[in-house]
Structure 1
Amino acid sequence: MRTNQHPTIAITGSTGHIGGGVVEHLRGSGLPLRLVVRDAGRAPAGAGDVVEAPYGDRAAATEALRGAGVLFMVSASESADRLEQHLTFIDAAAAAGVRHVVYTSFLGAGPHATFTLARTHWATEQHLRASSMSWTFLRNSFYLDVFPLFAGQEGVIRGPGGDGRVGAVARADVARVAATILADASVHEGRTYDLTGPQALTLAEMARVIAQETGRATAYHDETLEEAYASRQTYGAPDWQVEAWVSTYTAIAAGELDVVTDTVERLTGTPPMSLADVLRSA
């Protein structure tokens, strides 16, 4: 491995599923890694080069990224100022001399996407395109891993998803793709990759797979929009977050997530995991 010739790879999100998975894949590669975290105490065990810098702190982020050539930027946690955090961190990366950013975006990201958070991803992409850095966008579908969680304790997935289909992707597959790209990032400059699972399922079909694999009764209730907003108001969440929750389902109903690609297998050489695979591995 050309360790001394390979640029330092700065990895964000290493305390989460995607970034943590990337670190596991690259840990023994000999590539120079730097983990950028909000809390060094939560960094993966055995991590060497660890620096603290929140996305919204430009000065800290600039210092943390100085000397890194490639940045794996996992999108920030959902918040009212998520886009502002993204733009600040991107500006810090450019100021620090980062040459290439690999960003976890969303399938169908666009200014008018039904899923409201996909609009934030689009604005982030546009800021990266306008920067001095090269970029690679990983446009992930919804994560397969979260749909069993949507069923909750009562075993019912509730939302206005209709009969729409979603080619959801396993988080483990996103991490595998990202690690593959980061190992030779220059090959992927200017590329946008749509990442999905092996099939597009309706929410009713997902409920049946969950029930079959877990042995726990699971069903799908197709809510009306009025029901969807009312059932989520009980959480006391801000309006933007409730809108994001509901638009998860309306985007599926609109057919915007009815997409299946061969990208995972083409880039990694291994087929993507199905919902049954994810449940069995858990």
Structure 2
Amino acid sequence: MIIVTGATGTLNGATVDHLLTQVPPARIGVSVRDPDRAKHLADQGVRVRRGSYDDPAALRHSFAGAEQVLLVSSSDVTADVVTQHRTAIDAAVAAGAERILYTSAHGTGVDTPYPPLSIHAATEAHLAASGVAWTALRNGFYGDLGQLLGPWQSTGAIAKPADGPFTWVDRRDAAEAAATILTGDAPLEGPVELTPSSPVTLADFAAAASELTGRHVERLVVEDEQWVAGETENGVPEAAARFTLSMFQATRSGHFARTDSTLARLLGREPRSIAEQLAGAAR
């Protein structure tokens, strides 16, 4: 059985949808904090059990019978995320899982300019010491285009701090790749880089948006402290603004510019381009 956590979220929810096209629903289970939100999966024959990274006993129950467990990285900003991940890994091992997969991130390392990457590195280290086979899905950046680009449709500009090249993936492609790995005949071992074939910049997004809309969309570079001040004036906590700023700062050193062909190989096609993603978001 394949068990997936975070299956009511965008990324792993899409992974389960892909799994349902490849294996019988009876071979799929989900571990979710609120089973009521997974009723649509239960109605299709997927096993739904409650599980929380803060409740080891519930996790072991939700992982029971698993051959593979796919763990989504925690999004709880108030928690000790590394401890949560270790709890989930230990529960999967205790439940007898033969392989553990984890949604890591491109650029993961201990000494990196973007704080979440050290969390992923600590999680990967615990996976490596777990005694079972493991795969870290090192996805390129993904997320909400509105948050990344700001209100460019109304302002005609992408006004953000200076950036450098970074890998941006569509979550649908990341989910499809995860499902392909879970159902593949030859499991991928250890860290797996899942990035597009080439990095992009916010200037590339501005050019793609201009092409899409037929009007010029400008890329405006906002000085770091000016941008943080603007975010806080709009109600964003300063700590959150500086956290986001660290991502832009990290791209400037080329930390996220490296690419890999594995994602395209798993998909059997090129990943969705930023132009395709912008067009999809506009619909």
Normalising by the residue count of structure 2, what TM-score does the alignment of the two structures yield? 0.87
**Residue 247 of structure 2 aligns to a residue in which SS?**
helix
Aligned counterparts of 1:133 and 1:257: Cα–Cα separation in 2: 29
Aligned counterparts of 1:215 and 1:142: Cα–Cα separation in 2: 27
In the alignment, is the contact (CA less than 8 A) between 1:141 and 1:168 conserved in 2? yes
Deviation at 1:102, TM superposition (A): 1.1
Aligned counterparts of 1:14 and 1:211: Cα–Cα separation in 2: 35
Deviation at 1:216, TM superposition (A): 7.1
Residue 42 (structure 1) aligned with residue 37 (structure 2): yes
Residue 170 (structure 1) aligned with residue 170 (structure 2): yes
Aligned counterparts of 2:188 and 2:260: Cα–Cα separation in 1: 20
In the alignment, is the contact (CA less than 8 A) between 2:133 and 2:189 conserved in 1? yes
Tell me the amino acid that sits aligned with residue 117 of structure 1: P
Partner deviation per Cα, 1:191-222 (whole Å, 9 max, x = no partner): 32111123322212212212332457643332
My pick for the range that moved more, 214-223 or 90-99, is 214-223
- Gaps spanning 5+ residues in structure 1: where? 1-7
Residue 13 (structure 1) aligned with residue 32 (structure 2): no
Q: In structure 2, do the counterparts of structure 1 residues 200 and 96 end up closer, same or farther at CA, with 3 Å as the change threshold?
A: same
My pick for the range that moved more, 150-159 or 242-251, is 150-159
In the alignment, is the contact (CA less than 8 A) between 1:36 and 1:64 conserved in 2? yes
Partner deviation per Cα, 1:83-114 (whole Å, 9 max, x = no partner): 22112111211122112111110111011111
Q: In structure 2, do the counterparts of structure 1 residues 216 and 13 end up closer, same or farther at CA, with 3 Å as the change threshold?
A: farther
Q: In structure 2, do the counterparts of structure 1 residues 265 and 59 end up closer, same or farther at CA, with 3 Å as the change threshold?
A: same
Aligned counterparts of 2:197 and 2:189: Cα–Cα separation in 1: 25
Tell me the amino acid that sits aligned with residue 101 of structure 2: V
Deviation at 1:183, TM superposition (A): 0.4
Aligned counterparts of 1:90 and 1:214: Cα–Cα separation in 2: 46
Deviation at 1:152, TM superposition (A): 2.9
In the alignment, is the contact (CA less than 8 A) between 1:141 and 1:169 conserved in 2? yes
Map of 2:120 onto structure 1: 121
Aligned counterparts of 1:52 and 1:219: Cα–Cα separation in 2: 47
In the alignment, is the contact (CA less than 8 A) between 1:37 and 1:52 conserved in 2? yes
Normalising by the residue count of structure 1, what TM-score does the alignment of the two structures yield? 0.87
Partner deviation per Cα, 1:1-34 (whole Å, 9 max, x = no partner): xxxxxxx000112212211111111113234000
**Residue 201 of structure 1 aligns to a residue in which SS?**
coil
Aligned counterparts of 1:130 and 1:96: Cα–Cα separation in 2: 16
Deviation at 1:259, TM superposition (A): 2.1
**Residue 68 of structure 1 aligns to a residue in which SS?**
coil
Residue 77 (structure 1) aligned with residue 54 (structure 2): no
Residues paired across the two proteins, number: 271
In the alignment, is the contact (CA less than 8 A) between 1:159 and 1:246 conserved in 2? no
In the alignment, is the contact (CA less than 8 A) between 2:228 and 2:238 conserved in 1? no
**Residue 267 of structure 1 aligns to a residue in which SS?**
helix
Map of 1:106 onto structure 2: 105
**Residue 219 of structure 2 aligns to a residue in which SS?**
strand
Deviation at 1:189, TM superposition (A): 4.6
Aligned counterparts of 1:35 and 1:208: Cα–Cα separation in 2: 40
In the alignment, is the contact (CA less than 8 A) between 2:109 and 2:121 conserved in 1? yes
Partner deviation per Cα, 1:36-72 (whole Å, 9 max, x = no partner): 1111121162343101111121111111112111011
Q: In structure 2, do the counterparts of structure 1 residues 217 and 75 end up closer, same or farther at CA, with 3 Å as the change threshold?
A: farther
Map of 1:25 onto structure 2: 18
Deviation at 1:280, TM superposition (A): 2.5
Q: In structure 2, do the counterparts of structure 1 residues 124 and 273 end up closer, same or farther at CA, with 3 Å as the change threshold?
A: same
